[in-house]
Amino acid sequence: MPFRFSFFSVLILTSTVLGHVYLYRRLVRDTVRRVALRRLALAVFVLMSVPLMFRRHLRDILPESLEEPVSVVSYAWMGVALFLVLALLVWDLGRALWKVGRKLRAPEAPPVDEDRRRFLARTVAGGAAFTGGATAAYGSWRAFSAPEVTERVVRIPKLPKALEGLSIVQLTDIHVGVYIQRRFMDELVRQANALKPDLVAITGDLVDGDVPALGGFVSALGNLRSRFGSYFVTGNHDYYSGADAWCAYLETLGIQALRNRHVRIGDAGGALDLVGVDDWSGGRRFRTRGYDLDKALEGRDPERAAVLLAHQPANFRTAAERGVDLQISGHTHGGQLVPMTFFIGLEWEYSAGLYRHEDSHIYVSRGCGFWGPPMRVGSPPELVKLVLTS
């Protein structure tokens, strides 16, 4: 774990530095003549890159009054910078291909015209700024707009007739914090209630902050309405934010926390087991209780259908072999932003959507909110409704 963390940290630092150097060269050095303006732009780029590289350290030393403004600005810049880099890379690739084609047609290069070179550099920089800025603006609009509703039917052969058509609405990866607050939560609850669920499953990464700071926003979840109630399992960000305190707070809202345990849903006429586990990695990172499937399944009747709530789409095959008919997860955000949307499948076998292993299924939601940059491009947020049938 220490090696993996160090490697990841070095990768983030290196990418941030190289990205800002590239932006400075292409947007400033190649386009601006005045030395004073170049130095001012360089200072701005350095100032914007520092919070991205040392976010956690700054959080420990900054006054509380500055933590939120710095987080808002740095996360927004993270997304804008990403799309500026991508746009510049596309424009530069196009220009490189054009140069190759021109050389093939006329091997002898014409003399360099500095004014023309600067004009082309400014044209490319302007086009990239417009493209990257427009993409970031779209991504921000999409992140804060209502999640798409995804409805899927899942076949569970052991489902009793009394629960035929049982609907589960999943809320996951909301990340209540500096961006997502009460207005967003009220609308999400309204949208969830409109689906008329039999049961609500909140599968982790609910918050990025502690109860005193965010409890008023999260209290909107107390307005969720369903036949069998609402249930919560922890995600890794909930551990960062104080999992024990949040579980206790949610209980005051009428939301049961399933921490490596199961409850029976239904009655004598027919029931299934709703199983919940703590986050796959949170317990190990904080050296406290974490994921324990054995404990969660202990004492249940294997002849009853079982639905597992687990934040990360990990250990699914083992859960299926242990008699779990459906696992409901999140965590991946479906990549959240291009180009990560193309690579998320390399990290997770089950990255977004419905998958099957023998007679068991797993649904991995893209999530209702976002983390980091307040943007979603290529992976829109979703609100999931799963309908169970035998």
Domain spanning 148-389, CATH class: alpha beta
Q: What is the mean pLDDT of the chain?
A: 90
Give Cα 260 to chain centroid, integer Å: 23
Give tens-digit pLDDT for 181-196: 999 999 999 999 999 9
Q: Is the pLDDT of residue 2 over 70?
A: no
Q: Residue 249 above 70 pLDDT? A: yes
Domain borders along the chain are: 2-142, 148-389
Q: What's the pTM value of the predicted model, to 2 decimals? A: 0.89
What is the tens place of the pLDDT at every residue in 13-70? 888 899 999 999 999 988 888 899 999 999 999 988 888 887 777 777 777 777 788 8
| 3-state SS assignment for residue 357 | strand
pLDDT at 276 over 60: yes
Tell me the average pLDDT across 148-158.
Answer: 96
* Overall average pLDDT of the 132-147 stretch: 95
Phi/psi region, residue 317 (left: phi>0; alpha: psi -120 to 50; beta: rest), is: alpha
Do the strands 382-389 and 261-267 form a parallel or antiparallel pair, or are they unpaired?
A: unpaired
Distance CA 238, CA 258 (A): 14
Whole-number Å distance between alpha carbons of 165 and 154: 10
pLDDT of residue 88 exceeding 70, the answer is: yes
- Kindly tell me if the per-residue pLDDT of 233 is higher than 90: yes
Residue 308 has pLDDT above 70, yes or no: yes
Query: What's the confidence (pLDDT) of residue 3?
Result: 43
Percent of the chain residues past pLDDT 70, beyond the cut: 95
Q: What confidence category does residue 8 fall into, taking pLDDT thresholds of 50, 70 and 90?
A: low
Tens digits of residue pLDDT in 96-120: 888 788 777 776 666 667 777 888 8
Q: Are 350 and 364 in contact (CB under 8 A)?
A: yes
Residue-wise pLDDT tens digits, 214-225: 999 999 999 999
Per-residue pLDDT at 4 exceeds 60: no
Q: What is the pLDDT of residue 14?
A: 86
Q: What is the rounded distance in angstroms from the CA atom of residue 110 to the CA atom of residue 252?
A: 75
Instruction: With beta carbons less than 8 A apart as the criterion, state whether 265 and 274 touch.
Output: yes
Q: Which of 65-69, 149-153, 261-265, 369-373 shows the lowest mean pLDDT across its residues? A: 65-69
**Residue 385 clears pLDDT 90, i.e. is over it:** yes
